[in-house]
Amino acid sequence: MQQNNGIDKSQMISFAVLCLVLFGFMFYFQNKQSKEEQLKAQQQKTEQVKNAVKQTQVSNINPNVTPGAIQTATLANKELNVEFSSLGGQVSKVQLSKYKAYNHKTDKADLPLYLIDKKNSNYGFQFKDKTGKVINTKDLVFSPVINGSIATLTANYNGAVIQFIYTLNNNPNAELKDQYALDFKVRTKGLAAVTADNKADFIWDYNVRNLEKGRAQEQSHSEFSYAFNNYKDYDYDGRTEMNEEKETLNWIGVKQQFFSSVIEAKNGFTQSKGSQETIEEGEYLKKLNFEGFVQMTGSELNQDFTWYFMPLDLPLLKSYDKNFDEILPLGWSFIGWMNRGFFMPMYNIIAGWGITAGWVIFLMTIIVKLILSPIMYKQHKLSAMMKVIRPEIDEVNVKLKDADPMKKQQATMEIYRKAGVNQMAGCLPALVQIPIFYALFRFFPNFIDLRGKGFWFAKDLTAYDDLIKLPFKVPFLGDHLSVFALACTIVILIYTVMTSGNMQQPQQEGMPNMKVLMYIFPITFLFFLNTSASGLSWYYFVSNAINILIILVIKYWILDEKKIHAQIQANKEKPKSEGKFQKRMREMMEKAQEQQKVQEQQRKKK
Residue 277 confidence (pLDDT) above 70: yes
Of 269, 297, 328, the residue at which a domain comes to its end is 328
Q: Is residue 42 part of a domain?
A: no
Query: Do 290 and 366 sit in the same domain of this protein?
Result: no
Per-residue pLDDT averaged across 588-597, rounded? Answer: 61
Longest CA pairwise span in the chain (Å): 100
Residue 463 has a pLDDT of 86
Phi-psi sector, 384: left (phi>0), alpha (psi -120 to 50), beta: alpha
Mean pLDDT of the chain: 77
User: Can you give the residue range of the structural domain that contains 403?
Assistant: 345-574
pLDDT band at 312 (very low <50, low <70, confident <90, very high): very high
- Reduced to 3 states (helix: H, G, I; strand: E, B; else coil), residue 158 is coil
Query: Do 606 and 460 sit in the same domain of this protein?
Result: no
Residue 572 has a pLDDT of 52
Query: Do 550 and 597 sit in the same domain of this protein?
Result: no
Query: 522-538, pLDDT tens digit by residue?
Result: 777 788 888 888 888 89
Residue 35 has a pLDDT of 47
Per-residue pLDDT averaged across 494-501, rounded? Answer: 73
Q: Is residue 41 part of a domain?
A: no
Residue 125 confidence (pLDDT) above 90: yes
Query: Do 548 and 603 sit in the same domain of this protein?
Result: no
Query: Do 565 and 593 sit in the same domain of this protein?
Result: no
Closest Cα partner for 221 from 382, 383, 51, 447? 447
Q: Residue 382 corresponds to which amino acid?
A: L
Give the residue, 8 or 114, on which the prediction is more confident: 114
Residue 53 confidence (pLDDT) above 50: no
Query: Do 263 and 376 sit in the same domain of this protein?
Result: no
pLDDT band at 111 (very low <50, low <70, confident <90, very high): very high
Query: Do 349 and 479 sit in the same domain of this protein?
Result: yes
CA atoms 190, 191, 193, 197: torsion sign: negative
Distance CA 386, CA 379 (A): 11
Taking CA 78 as the corner, what is the angle to CA 77 and CA 81, rounded to the nearest 5 degrees? 55
Q: How many CA atoms lie within 13 A of 474 on its CB side?
A: 11
Q: Is residue 292 part of a domain?
A: yes
Q: Which of the residue ranges 46-55, 246-255, 536-545, 578-587 has the most confident prediction, judged by mean pLDDT?
A: 246-255
Q: Is residue 7 part of a domain?
A: no
Count of beta carbons in the 10 Å neighbourhood of residue 75? 23
Of 293, 328, 363, the residue at which a domain comes to its end is 328
What is the CATH number for 208? 2.70.98.90
Element (H, E) at 348: helix 344-351
Distance CA 135, CA 463 (A): 44
User: Do 534 and 482 meet the contact criterion of CB atoms below 8 Å apart?
Assistant: yes
pLDDT above 70 as % of the chain: 67
Per-residue pLDDT averaged across 362-368, rounded? Answer: 91
Residue 460 confidence (pLDDT) above 80: yes
Of 302, 328, 354, the residue at which a domain comes to its end is 328
**Total domains present in the chain:** 3
- Reduced to 3 states (helix: H, G, I; strand: E, B; else coil), residue 475 is coil
Query: Do 487 and 446 sit in the same domain of this protein?
Result: yes
Residue 568 has a pLDDT of 57
Taking CA 592 as the corner, what is the angle to CA 591 and CA 594, rounded to the nearest 5 degrees? 65
Give the residue, 490 or 385, on which the prediction is more confident: 490
User: Do 350 and 360 meet the contact criterion of CB atoms below 8 Å apart?
Assistant: yes
Query: Do 102 and 248 sit in the same domain of this protein?
Result: yes
pLDDT band at 28 (very low <50, low <70, confident <90, very high): very low
Give the residue, 472 or 575, on which the prediction is more confident: 472
Q: Is residue 497 part of a domain?
A: yes
Per-residue pLDDT averaged across 533-557, rounded? Answer: 83
Residue 557 confidence (pLDDT) above 60: yes
DSSP letter string, 22-59? HHHHHHHHHHHHHHHHHHHHHH--PPP---SEEE----
Q: Is residue 2 part of a domain?
A: no
Q: Is residue 105 part of a domain?
A: yes
3-state secondary structure 381-392: HHHHHHHHHHHH
pLDDT band at 9 (very low <50, low <70, confident <90, very high): very low
Query: Do 441 and 566 sit in the same domain of this protein?
Result: yes
Query: Do 310 and 458 sit in the same domain of this protein?
Result: no
Query: 397-410, pLDDT tens digit by residue?
Result: 666 665 666 666 66
Residue 184 confidence (pLDDT) above 50: yes
Least confident of 194-198, 298-302, 568-572: 568-572
Collect all residues with Cβ–Cβ distance below 8 Å to 300 and sequence separation of at least 6: 188, 189, 191, 192
pLDDT band at 36 (very low <50, low <70, confident <90, very high): very low
Least confident of 70-79, 85-94, 485-494: 485-494
DSSP letter string, 65-95? S-GGG-EEEEEE-SSEEEEEETBTT-EEEEE
pLDDT band at 426 (very low <50, low <70, confident <90, very high): low
Give the residue, 561 or 604, on which the prediction is more confident: 604
Query: Do 437 and 486 sit in the same domain of this protein?
Result: yes
Q: Is residue 40 part of a domain?
A: no
CA atoms 574, 576, 582, 588: torsion sign: positive
Per-residue pLDDT averaged across 420-449, rounded? Answer: 76
